[in-house]
Amino acid sequence: MLSSAIHKARWAIALTFFVHGTILGSWIPLIPLAKERLAVGPGIFGLALLAIAIGAIISMPLSGVLINRFGSARVTTTAGVVFCLAFILPPMMPDLWTFLPAALIFGAAIGSMDVAMNAHGIAVEKALRRPTMSLLHAGFSIGAMTGSLWGALLLRLIGETGHVFLSSAVCFLVFLLTIRFYLPTTIDKGLSGEGFVWPTRATIGLGLLCFLALMAEGAVVDWSGLMLLERFALDASTAALGFAAFAAGMSFSRLLGDWMRMKIGAARLVRWSALLMAAGLALALVIPSVPIAIVALAFAGIGIGNAAPILFAGGGRLEPSAPGRGIAAVTTLGYAGFLAGPPLIGFVAELTGLTMALGLVVLASLVIAASARAAGAADAY
């Protein structure tokens, strides 16, 4: 395959990650408006939002089966089109009973596209014969920040309906520009004659590490601001700087992650990254200084940023005859961790306090560091 075609595919799938992040970021400013429109309490609305997660978790393993049969390029194309259109549904639903199926469809589109674009990213990485997954996930992070800022601006200028349809249309058009540069569908069809097959033990093991990594990420995303509020009695805007620092650290590390992976290898990068996450968060939990705590959260973000991209890449390589199945297993377990992390921390915080509860994230990071050798599968070209 021509080198120029592979490099075009790399930037095309990076732009696909950006589109995925932009739509999810655009959804964030719409969530409070959805709660107000549905006229339900926070508990019921939380359960309604759970429909998005349920749709994603159901669709992820199914997407792996489709990738094995049709190839990641075709599944990414189909899922991306559905995702751009499904974004319109939840904000347009007038009541709880129409919102629930709309959220389920939106979540299924999120999950399907997530698995498919990661699988195609692995195919591109194999064709390049050098790392690129961290760059792709940096595209997602930058897209999420762009979408949230874009969404807040459009809500002010043209209102909710205008924001929804314009965002969907722009992302749809950008996405259509990318698909012609994907690698051929035959590159990773894998076990096209088989239906659902359970992933291997090694793949599940890597998925459990991804569960811990994304559990840690989700817990810090949801609880870092409240932790700063409780420890230092800050105003909400200042406390939000903790999450901003964490997110900025993640984006920075992902932009450098592929270069670092080439220099020191996947296993060592995951090990040192997990240790940096543990040290950064531990410092933020105990240091009696607001600026230092915020900087420590930035270093925690730098640490955790490359864990998921590398573990996803490893999942696709552990099953070379069925990379879609491997990436689906790791992604599903990781996403489950992202969902489980915040409520687990909340439950433990009720018993021990938030600072002690977030100590579980430090412990999870140390477990990842101790088990990082498994991440070496990502370097098998």
Query: Once rounded to an integer, what is the mean pLDDT over residues 146-157?
Result: 81
Report the pLDDT value the prediction gives residue 192, as an integer from 0 to 100: 43
CA distances (Å), origin 121, targets 48, 337, 339, 374: 32, 22, 24, 20
Instruction: Please name which of 25, 135, 16, 165 lies closest in space to residue 81, comparing C-alpha atoms.
Output: 16
Task: Measure the CA angle with vertex 204, ends 381 and 220; round to 5°.
Answer: 95
Which residues of the chain form CATH 1.20.1250.20? Answer: 3-181, 201-379
Percentage of the chain beyond pLDDT 90 is: 28
Q: Which is higher by pLDDT, 31 or 73? A: 73
Question: pLDDT class for 159, splitting at 50, 70, 90?
Answer: confident
Lowest mean pLDDT among 13-22, 34-43, 98-107, 121-130: 34-43
More confident residue, 327 or 182: 182
Tell me the pLDDT tens digit for each residue of 314-369.
Answer: 876 776 666 666 777 787 888 888 777 777 777 788 788 888 888 999 999 999 99
The answer, yes or no, to whether residue 196 has pLDDT greater than 60, is: no
Give the mean pLDDT of 159-177: 92
* pLDDT surpassing 90 at residue 88: yes
Mean residue pLDDT of the chain comes to 84
pLDDT per residue as tens digits for the range 89-122: 999 988 889 999 999 999 999 989 988 998 898 8
Q: Hey, what amino acid is at 51?
A: A
Q: What is the rounded distance in angstroms from the CA atom of residue 193 to the CA atom of residue 321?
A: 12
The pLDDT assigned to 325 comes to 67
CATH superfamily of 201-379: MFS general substrate transporter like domains (1.20.1250.20)
Cα 232 from Cα 239, distance rounded (Å) = 9
pLDDT of residue 193: 47
C-alpha distances in angstroms, 338 versus 49, 101, 144, 212? 14, 22, 16, 8
The answer, yes or no, to whether residue 271 has pLDDT greater than 90, is yes
Q: Is the pLDDT of residue 9 over 70?
A: yes
pLDDT confidence band for 24 (50 / 70 / 90): confident
Highest mean pLDDT among 77-81, 200-204, 330-334: 77-81
User: What DSSP line would sit under 60-105, residue for residue?
Assistant: HHHHHHHHHHH-HHHHHHHHHHHHHHHTTHHHH--SHHHHHHHHHH
pLDDT in tens, 277-305: 999 999 999 988 888 998 999 999 999 88
Q: What is the pLDDT of residue 323?
A: 63
**b/e sequence 32-70, b meaning 16+ C-beta within 10 Å:** eebbebbebeeeebeebbebbbbbbbbbbbebbbbbbbb
**Confidence tier at 190 by pLDDT (50, 70, 90):** low
**Segment (H or E) for 364:** helix 354-370
Compute the average pLDDT of residues 168-183: 93
Q: What is the DSSP letter of 183?
A: P
In whole angstroms, what is the distance from residue 71 CA to residue 116 CA? 9
Q: Which two tokens stand for residue 15?
A: 């732009």
* Stated pTM of the model: 0.80
Contact criterion met (CB below 8 Å) for 67 and 115? yes
CATH 3.40.980.10 corresponds to the domain 3-181:
no
Task: Give one DSSP letter per residue of 150-171, joined into a string.
Answer: HHHHHHHHHHHHHHHHHHHHHH
If phi > 0 it is left, if psi is from -120 to 50 it is alpha, else beta; for residue 39 that is left
